[in-house]
Amino acid sequence: MNLFDAHCHLQDDQLLADRHGLMKRAGDAGVIRMVCCGSAETDWAQVLEIAAEFPVSVVPAVGLHPWYVRERSTGWLDRLSSMLRSTSAVVGEIGLDHALDDRDDAAQEEVFLAQLDLGRQLDRPVCVHCRKAWGRLTELLASFGRLPAGLMIHSYSGAADLIPALVRWNAYFSFSGSITFPNNRRGRQALAVVPEDRLLLETDAPDILPCPDEKTPEPFTPNEPANLPLILRQAALVRNVAEETLAARVWNNSCTFFGVKTT
């Protein structure tokens, strides 16, 4: 089985030093492609360097995450635009986060919409973070309009009944190790109803360590792409399909969304 990790952070200090070992373990687990997402101006260059070091395996993404909106420089958007125009990088990780105690909603939305516009201008897919802002996200997408290259909501935590509305705005849905958590019934309900051509899987490494199972009693810690098979197995159980069938479907979806060859 070929597996595609739709969202991780290889530039994180917990993973960067052992990136060669990490890539070897990922390959051994069948994870042969992964999307490395930047979050702040300080890590964009590093993401592009990792992608240059592993050009076959790593798809780069650069964007300004809502956690780092307050730290943005005056020229952040011009710098991001220049990086995207000079590379084939995806836009992301961007989004809205209403779970933050100290947040500026107006600034989050301004930054989010500016990056959606870059995605539209450059015909690039967009990786979106959303926490406790689902109503506002759907309002903004309805106002902004459909993104031709699509948007992926990573580690989807919204309700199942939101999925049809988000699909209208060309959304894809990526599920992380949170679906392995015994108390995450909401996540599994959503996973069960995502259209099969809109489903992606991710680790969000080094975060969201999946729960162990019989085949992997000790997942790699911190979380890394080699743990993706645990997430695949849980997703296959939830959707009542064979692992191989789901892996092939998700591989094709991921390659289509991120614009890479399937072979």
179-206 pLDDT, tens digit each: 999 999 999 999 999 999 999 999 999 9
Determine the residue type at 46.
Answer: Q
pLDDT of residue 262: 76
Q: Is residue 139 within 8 Å of 132, Cβ to Cβ?
A: no
- Whether residue 138 is contained in a domain is answered as yes
Full-model pTM:
0.97
pLDDT of residue 34: 98
What CATH number does residue 22 fall under?
Answer: 3.20.20.140
From 176, 218, 246, select the one nearest 5 (Cα to Cα).
176
Give the number of other CB atoms < 10 A from CB of residue 167: 15
Across the chain, the runs of DSSP E, i.e. the strands, are 3-8, 31-37, 58-62, 90-97, 126-131, 151-153, 171-175, 199-201
Residue 72 is assigned to a structural domain of this protein: yes
Phi-psi region of 196 (alpha: psi -120 to 50; beta: other; left: phi over 0): alpha
pLDDT of residue 206: 98
End-to-end alpha carbon distance in the chain:
12
Give the number of other Cβ atoms within 10 Å of residue 210's Cβ: 24
pLDDT of residue 142: 95
CA distance 261 to 61: 17
Is 263 within a domain?
no
Rounded to the nearest angstrom, the gap between the alpha carbon of residue 222 and the centroid of all alpha carbons in its chain is: 18
For the chain, the domain total comes to 1
Which segments in the chain show pLDDT lower than 50? none
Query: Which residue range forms the structural domain that includes residue 48?
Result: 3-258
Q: Is 151 helix (H, G, I), strand (E, B) or coil?
A: strand
| DSSP structural state of residue 210 | P
